[in-house]
Structure 1
Amino acid sequence: MKSVDHNKKIWEEKVQQQNRWTIPVTSEDIQKARAGDWSIVVTSVKPVPKTWFPDLQGKKVLCLASGGGQQGPILAAAGAEVTVLDFSESQLMQDAFVAERDELPIRTVLGSMTDLSMFVSDQFDVIVHPVSNLYVPDIQPVWQEAFRVLKPGGIFISGFMNPVFYLFDWDLQDKGILQVKHSIPYSELDYSSEEEIAKNGIALEYGHTLEQQLQGQIDAGFVIVGFYEDTFGGEKLLDRYTSSFIATRAVKPV
């Protein structure tokens, strides 16, 4: 199964269904951001610390696999020159809509997080990469490409799934039971056929190991200097016991 093509189709449908991550920020949010009152999330509910960002005025920011009209417009309103890359045309349309509505400097690019060949090396001051690498089977190209297009001294902020999230039986969780069923690294293809995945209309997800997530960034050349965890905000049974999300702040050495 071509995971990128399948997941692209799923996200086009999510926009039509008005999934939480496809709803653009409001003009009121943009006004507040222009006044210095802003925040974004790259995980689920916990905002990224303001201290993780430099002064954004005039900074070139890449929102990587970050369509939906949320992070990009806020950062643009805070003063950044924003480029949003996503594999979903409908998600990028949300960013374009906010950019036109609120007169924001946002460029949208259709593409994959694993291939940033449309950008020259050392181009961006900041890269913001919300939870999305669960949709590709190999995340090392994501780290390597992000490192290449980031300027020396640049900041890379990423959110991703804690692999513990993928351990448990999905159906039993809905019944209030946590029972280990899956192994890590996780692939939906190990437990469902391609026909079942297509029929059920679910995204094809991959639960990467912490070594792939953390050491992968280090192997690409990054120095990890910030870390926090997040939950679903009480929506999931697992929230009672542990966090399902991780965010990191990494720097490209000068």
Structure 2
Amino acid sequence: MEQEHWPHPPVTAHRRAATEEESRRANGPDWDRYADEYQATHGDFLGDVGFVWGPEGLTEADAGVLGPLAGKDVLEVGSGAGQCSRWIRSVGGRAYGLDLSHRQLQHSLRIDDATGIAVPSVRGTATQLPFATASFDVVFCAFGALQFVADIDRAVQEAARVLRPGGRFAFSITHPTRWMFPDDPTEDGLMASQSYWDRTPYVEVDDVTGRPAYVEHHRTLGDWVSILAGAGFRITALLEPEWPDDHERLWGGWSSVRGRLTPGTAIFGADLD
């Protein structure tokens, strides 16, 4: 039977507090609904065996945030269909995936079969990684789980727990300054509409059930520095990719109109002391 994962049910947007449990219960099913549309729309851009850090198209091959990967044990948190982990396996790393969405993991299995590069993956959450302490050399998240997690301190501490001493943690997120602007790729999205320091989560509530259907959390750049330092990490990189001149892709609120004026993505790299 054909499954209908999109469009989203009718929702009303709010700014209000949201717990970790609410966030998880909302965002897992939301990604299950959206997975087919996401892979159909962005799959070619991401590549079945490709590592793209964000909508600007910066690849890990060019950025080198993770460092040498051959022979390394690597965990991708919020792995989706496993494109990034599959690329890591293609260059000699032992990458594993974790995602909250069952449907995204089904797409990962589909691409495993199509490419012949399998990414062992599990369904789970960033705040409770189902892996032993000191299991990995690298943990990363490419525009995946972290923006959807309420208990971010615990998620970063979990990354530290499963890393070996000296291991690397890296992630990309929507650039925190984007929180000030409407999610609009046109000129209308260039007018600041709320405070950068307002950390109240964005919550879409299902009009029928009254339950959260999507939750996103905001932290400032300073917050991320404090969170990483508090978990024992030393920041080694902070990249803000520029929008390429010849890049005309439209991706939600990302576009050349906005991307040539203001950063859309922040990429952190940090080593465990």
Q: Same fold (TM over 0.5)?
A: yes
2:218 alignment partner in structure 1: 207
CA distance in 1, matches of 2:175, 2:259: 12
SS in 2 for 1:153: strand
Q: Does 1:25 align with 2:47?
A: yes
Q: 135-144 vs 53-62, which deviates more?
A: 53-62
Amino acid corresponding to residue 199 of structure 2 in structure 1: P
Q: Does 1:242 align with 2:242?
A: no
* 2:231 counterpart of 1:220: yes
Look up the match of 2:272: 252
Code of the aligned partner of 2:173:
F
- The sequence identity of aligned pairs, in percent, is 23
SS state of the match for residue 125, structure 1? Answer: strand
**TM-score normalised to structure 2 length:** 0.75
Deviations 1:116-138 (A, max 9, x none): 1x211110011121123111223
Residue 206 of structure 2 contacts residue 213 of structure 2 at CA under 8 Å; is this kept in 1?
Answer: no
TM-score (ref. length: structure 1): 0.80
Gaps of 5+ in 1: 31-38
Unaligned runs of 5+ in 2: 1-17, 249-254
Shift of 1:175: 3.7
Question: Does structure 1 conserve the Cα–Cα contact (< 8 Å) formed by 2:81 and 2:111?
Answer: no
Instruction: Report the Cα distance in structure 1 between the residues aligned to 2:178 and 2:208, rounded to whole angstroms.
Output: 19
Do residues 136 (structure 1) and 127 (structure 2) align? no
The one-letter amino acid of 1:187's match is P
The correspondence for 2:28, drawn from 8, 14, 24, is 8
Q: Which has the higher contact order (CA 8 A, sep 6+)?
A: 2
Letter in 2 for 1:128: F
- 1:100 aligned partner: 113
2:132 maps to 120
CA contact (8 A) 2:182 2:189 kept: no
Give the count of matched residue pairs.
237
- Equivalent positions of 1:152-231 (< 5 A) are 152-170=165-183, 175=188, 178-182=191-195, 184-189=198-203, 194-195=205-206, 203-230=214-241
Structure 1 counterpart of 2:6: none
Aligned residues of 1:82 and 1:105 also touching (Cα < 8 A): no
> What is the DSSP-based 3-state SS (H/G/I as helix, E as strand, rest coil) of the residue aligned with 1:207?
coil
How far the C-alpha of 1:18 sits from its partner, in A, is: 3.5
Q: Deviations over 1:172-208 (max 9, x none)?
A: 967455132355214114xx6x345979x97321121
Whether the 8 Å CA contact 2:86–2:119 is kept in 1: the answer is: yes
Structure-1 residue corresponding to 2:86 = 73
More helix by share: 1
Question: Does 2:158 align with 1:145?
Answer: yes
Change (3 A) 1:22 1:170: same
Contact 2:82 2:97 in 1 (8 A): no
Cα separation, 2, equivalents of 1:171 and 1:225? 32
Inter-partner Cα distance in structure 1 for 2:133 and 2:232: 14
Q: SS in structure 2 opposite 1:67?
A: coil
CA RMSD in angstroms comes to: 2.9
Distance in 1, Cα, partners of 2:118 & 2:65:
22
Give the drift of 1:50: 5.0
Residue pair 1:21, 1:68 contacting (<8 A) in 2 also: no
1:224 and 1:175, CA in 2 relative to 1: closer, same or farther beyond 3 A? closer
Bigger CA drift: 66-75 or 1-10? 1-10
